Amino acid sequence: MKIPQIPESDVTDEAVFLNRRSLLRLGATAAIGASLAGCPAANEADAASKEAAGASDRRRLPNVAPAPPEFRVDEKPTRERDATRYNNFYEFGTDKKDPARHAGRLRTEPWSVVVDGEVAKPGRVPLETILTPSRLEERIYRFRCVETWSMVVPWIGLPLGDVLARFEPTSKARFVSFETLFDPEQMPGQRRRVIDWPYREGLRMDEAMHPLSIFAVGMYGRVLPNQNGAPLRLIVPWKYGFKSIKSIVRIHFSEKRPHTSWNDLAPDEYGFYANVNPEVAHPRWSQARERRLGEFRKRPTLPFNGYADQVASLYADMDLRRNF
């Protein structure tokens, strides 16, 4: 096992924390259904050769409503290649290139989501049912990882609030949480316990119901590539990227604040709220600036990732330095 040297370029990496931690543990213990499926690559070699050819075999999503102005940033989208080849999806490995290499083996069809907790209509819901009543919409959002890289992505999805409302949360539901698939056969990164799998994230109900929050099923006009969280992921653009949980199989409503993966791992480094905030530094690096994928120079990070006008009121009575 390699002792993790921390190269300068890696100091903002979420994985650095995990490497330290798993070393410690080692020391201690042993030394739209068919419509969304596109054509998943049969195996990794296949996926790799398609990737090398630069071909996108992902299915184009028809009949997508264009983003209204308040859901469309006026900035050049990141190149699709960059957004789909540089990922965080630890279920497939902790290197940024691992998800694009290995996520081809994830079967995204059939897919269903378990809905439970404080809700009038619990059950196991096929993905098609989640998607059918609404028309898909494009949303062009900034996306800011806590590690300080960022991008601008044309997502395709539907308002999270519309979907959640259909399950009829009870009056006790104050939070909603989400879980990613746990299946080490398909997700080889889960064979190492870098995280207490499954990956979990959660939001306060008012955050989830906010019109900026979406379930994404596509990007750049096509279904999501597996490495970006197919077939169903969260996008909450004013929060750090780790809140935007991928490949969701469970939606749970609760009265109490849920446990969430990164907050459980290192509560002083990754808050539950995780609102993008240039004024609150991560304990190991500043959050004042960020680098867009494909760009060289850094730019200032904006409060709430540039969505302050739309979301700051959600936190009017909170101390955002304490509740970071």
Ligand X SMILES: Nc1nc2c(c(=O)[nH]1)N[C@H]1C(S)=C(S)[C@@H](COP(=O)(O)O)O[C@H]1N2
Which residues lie near ligand X (CB under 6 A)?
14, 87-91, 145, 180, 199, 228-229, 241-242, 244-247
Q: How far is the CB of 274 from ligand X (least distance, A)?
A: 10
Q: Which does 180 bind (CB under 5 to 8 A by kind): ligand X, Mo ion, none?
A: ligand X
- Phi first, then psi, for residue 105 (nearest 5°) are -80, -5
Residues in Cβ contact with 162 at an 8 Å cutoff, skipping those fewer than 6 apart: 134
Q: Which does 228 bind (CB under 5 to 8 A by kind): Mo ion, ligand X, none?
A: ligand X
| Residue (88 or 228) nearer to Mo ion, CB | 88
- Long-range CB contacts (within 8 A, 24+) of 81-87: 81/54, 82/151, 82/293, 82/294, 83/151, 83/153, 83/219, 83/220, 83/228, 83/293, 84/219, 84/225, 84/227, 84/228, 86/149, 86/293, 87/227, 87/228
Task: Select from 86, 197, 242, 272 the one that contacts Mo ion (CB under 5 A).
Answer: 242
Q: Which does 91 bind (CB under 5 to 8 A by kind): ligand X, Mo ion, none?
A: ligand X
| Residue (190 or 254) nearer to Mo ion, CB | 190
Q: Which does 117 bind (CB under 5 to 8 A by kind): Mo ion, ligand X, none?
A: none
Residue 220 binds to Mo ion (criterion: CB under 5 A): no
Q: Which of 217, 215, 245, 248 is nearest to 32 (CA)?
A: 217
Q: How far is the CB of 6 from ligand X (least distance, A)?
A: 18
Element (H, E) at 123: strand 123-126
Identify the bridge partners of residue 162 per DSSP, sorted by sequence position.
none
Q: How far is the CB of 55 from ligand X (least distance, A)?
A: 20
**Contacts (CB under 5 A) with Mo ion, residues 128-147:** 145-146
In the chain, the amino acid numbered 317 is D
Alpha helix stretches (DSSP H) within the chain: 14-29, 34-37, 44-53, 80-85, 98-102, 127-131, 160-166, 205-209, 261-265, 308-311
| Residue (172 or 284) nearer to Mo ion, CB | 284
Residue 198 binds to Mo ion (criterion: CB under 5 A): no
Segment lying near Mo ion (by CB under 5 A), choices 41-49, 84-92, 228-236, 275-283: 84-92
Q: Which of 46, 210, 182 is nearest to 114 (CA)?
A: 182
| Residue (228 or 254) nearer to ligand X, CB | 228
Residues in Cβ contact with 82 at an 8 Å cutoff, skipping those fewer than 6 apart: 151, 293, 294
Q: How far is the CB of 14 from Mo ion (least distance, A)?
A: 6
| Residue (213 or 244) nearer to ligand X, CB | 244
| Residue (87 or 275) nearer to ligand X, CB | 87
Residue 229 binds to Mo ion (criterion: CB under 5 A): no
Is the backbone peptide bond immediately before 231 cis, with ω within 30 degrees of 0? yes
CB-based closest residue to ligand X: 241
Instruction: Return the C-alpha torsion angle 60, 238, 127, 32, nearest 10.
Output: -10
CB-based closest residue to Mo ion: 145
| Residue (166 or 269) nearer to ligand X, CB | 269
- Phi first, then psi, for residue 291 (nearest 5°) are -120, 120
Residue 241 binds to Mo ion (criterion: CB under 5 A): yes
Q: How far is the CB of 76 from ligand X (least distance, A)?
A: 17
| Residue (169 or 241) nearer to Mo ion, CB | 241
Number of neighbours of residue 196 by Cβ within 10 angstroms: 11
Instruction: Give the footprint of Mo ion on this chain (CB under 5 A).
Output: 88, 145-146, 241-242
